[in-house]
Amino acid sequence: MRPFQIMIGCCIVLSIFQGKYFFAFGAYNAITGYFQNVKSFKNEETKLKSILFGGVAQQRAQRAFDLCAAFMQHGKSALYLN
């Protein structure tokens, strides 16, 4: 499962049961949790660089944060891809 799919899954579940404040945290937490606990890296140094120093993990986490911030401001219309 790709990180974006995880975030969309969290969107559906959390928006139904919790409301938008919990959705925003849950979606961001799902993305960062994936890179910290699920994704395999070659070694710990590679993992650290990816998460903290501008790697793919940091880029995906920033995108998730941006989407959550847009969702908090504009509601579910911020998540429409088309």
- Does the pLDDT at position 10 exceed 60? no
DSSP category for residue 19:
-
* Residue 81, both tokens: 């891809």
Please give the residue range of the domain that contains residue 38: 3-79
Structure-token match 């995880």, residue found: 6
**CB of 68 closer than 8 Å to CB of 62:** no
**CB of 74 closer than 8 Å to CB of 24:** no
**CB of 23 closer than 8 Å to CB of 8:** no
Per-residue model confidence as pLDDT tens digits over 28-81: 888 888 888 888 999 999 999 998 898 999 998 888 888 888 877 787 787 776
How many structural domains is the chain composed of? 1
* Residue 82, both tokens: 């088309």
